[in-house]
Structures are given as structure tokens and as C-alpha cells.
Amino acid sequence: MSLPQVPTAGLLRACLALSGLSGATGVICLALSAHAGSTALLGTAGQMLLAHAPLFLGVGILSQIRRIKFLPVVAACLTLGLILFSGDLISRSFFEQRFFPMSAPIGGLLIILAWLTLALSALRVKPK
């Protein structure tokens, strides 16, 4: 007896790609910070990217097994937050210039919002 085939959610595909990109970029940042004599900013960006790569993976998997209304919001806030936060740190490390004023704090707030949205999503979980 075979299990019914469930179509792969677009959110799963996006989150798998974002998880891989976040993890790979994080490793690159940490390697550069260790070997290129860069600032601590690059190491911090790498740690943030690596710490959140599994979250993308979890959000993608959850999107396949449960209907959770706010998972796309979690993924979007996390993506934009990591781009702003880590991107600003990387830009300051390599180019000695910010993305724009307050980009890292705004990115950090978006990452916090992603985590809080995930926590609040627990109130709205439904079977697939």
C-alpha cells in the first residue's frame, strides 16, 4: 500500500533554497572572518545566518504537514531581516559602508518579529 502523493508546497521549495543559501553564506562569512583578518562584524553575520538556516528548514517542513496561516509571514520576515541585518554587517566589513542608516536594527527587529509570529502561529495550527 502506497501513501498518497502530496504536492510539494512552494513554501517548502523556497525555504529549502533559503536554508541552503543562509547556511552556505554563513559558513563563507565565518571562514573569511577566520582567515582574511576581517572585522568581528563578518563573524557575527555568519553566526546569524547559520543560526537561522535550520529555521527556514523547519518552516518549510511544517508547511507540508500542517496548515499554519502565518508561515509565509515568518519566512518573509526572516528573509528580509537576515538580508538587512547580515547584509549590513557584511557591507560594513568589506566596504566600510552601511546599506542605509538603521538597516541592521530594522533587520534584527524583523528577525524577532519572525520568531514571535512563529510562536503565535501555535494558536492557529490545523491539520492538512
Backbone angles phi, psi at 67, to 5 degrees: -90, 110
Cell of 28: 563563507
Q: What percent of the chain has pLDDT over 70?
A: 91
Rounded-to-integer distance, Cα 26 and Cα 48, Å: 7
Contact between 80 and 107 under an 8 Å Cβ cutoff? The reply is yes
Q: Which range marks the domain in which residue 70 is found?
A: 11-122
Residue 27 lies in a domain: yes
Residue 5 pLDDT grade (very low, low, confident, very high; cuts 50, 70, 90): low
Is the pLDDT reported for residue 1 higher than 60?
Answer: no
Residue 112 lies in a domain: yes
Question: What per-residue confidence (pLDDT) applies to 12?
Answer: 94
Q: How many domains does the chain have?
A: 1
Q: What percent of the chain has pLDDT over 90?
A: 72
Question: What per-residue confidence (pLDDT) applies to 127?
Answer: 75
Mean per-residue pLDDT of the chain: 91
Pairing of strands 125-127, 66-68: antiparallel
Rounded-to-integer distance, Cα 52 and Cα 113, Å: 13
Per-residue HEC secondary structure of 25-42 comes to: HHHHHHHHHHHCCCCHHH
